[in-house]
Amino acid sequence: GAVVSQHPSRVICKSGTSVKIECRSLDFQATTMFWYRQFPKQSLMLMATSNEGSKATYEQGVEKDKFLINHASLTLSTLTVTSAHPEDSSFYICSVAGTDQLYGYTFGSGTRLTVV
Amino acid sequence: GNSVTQMEGPVTLSEEAFLTINCTYTATGYPSLFWYVQYPGEGLQLLLKATKADDKGSNKGFEATYRKETTSFHLEKGSVQVSDSAVYFCALRPSDGQNFVFGPGTRLSVLP
């Protein structure tokens, strides 16, 4: 399966600032990557589908102007949380579809964002 | 729509106890089914999967069988270890789409 690197693993930022999270597919050219958000003790919720070279597709209720997604190459997708607020504090995880579309995706190790 | 239901946790067991975490799903068509595990402070790791009815996924002593008649994919392990303490997510991937649908997760704590 694909090897996925997500960076940073933890970040603390001040309210009002922006934070960029990177998701890299190290050994596979990923045309599609997915971004999830996980609140404490809750399940993963899909935020958006990131497509290389085109605009991301956002799930209902996710603010596209707040969560900017850029998928400029086949190995890198970025999620930028703009004007972060404490309620944006969460665990963000990306995933990459493997070479076999029938099977599970590979997930990044996640980024824990804390906005103070 | 598609959905996944898991038994509520937390589940606390003694080492070497038998584990069952129930998972049922609702989906159209023939989804693929997965169990993911999340260790403290880490991302998700694929534990096992099954892509069609009656398939059994297995890994690290864990097993789950795709039961279409009961729309279930229960996770079992005969003898748990302290190192199995984690959150376990049941998930499905619809046959007509790419996006996963996750269950709420079940936290397992194994005591020595």
At B85-105, the pLDDT tens digits run 999 999 998 887 667 889 989
Mark yes or no for CB contact A93/B105 under 8 Å. no
Alpha carbons B4 and B104: distance in angstroms, whole number: 8
Mark yes or no for CB contact B98/A32 under 8 Å. yes
* Nearest-CB residue to A43 (from B34, B42, B105): B105
DSSP state of A110: -
Q: Does the pLDDT value for residue A109 go beyond 90?
A: no
Kindly calculate the radius of gyration of chain B based on its CA atoms and give it in whole angstroms.
13
CA distances from A20 to A6, A55, A57, A83, B21 (A): 11, 17, 18, 11, 36
At B40-62, the pLDDT tens digits run 877 788 899 999 999 999 999 99
Q: Does the pLDDT value for residue B76 go beyond 90?
A: yes
At B14-39, the pLDDT tens digits run 999 999 999 999 998 889 999 999 88
Q: Which residues partner with B103 through β-bridges? A: none
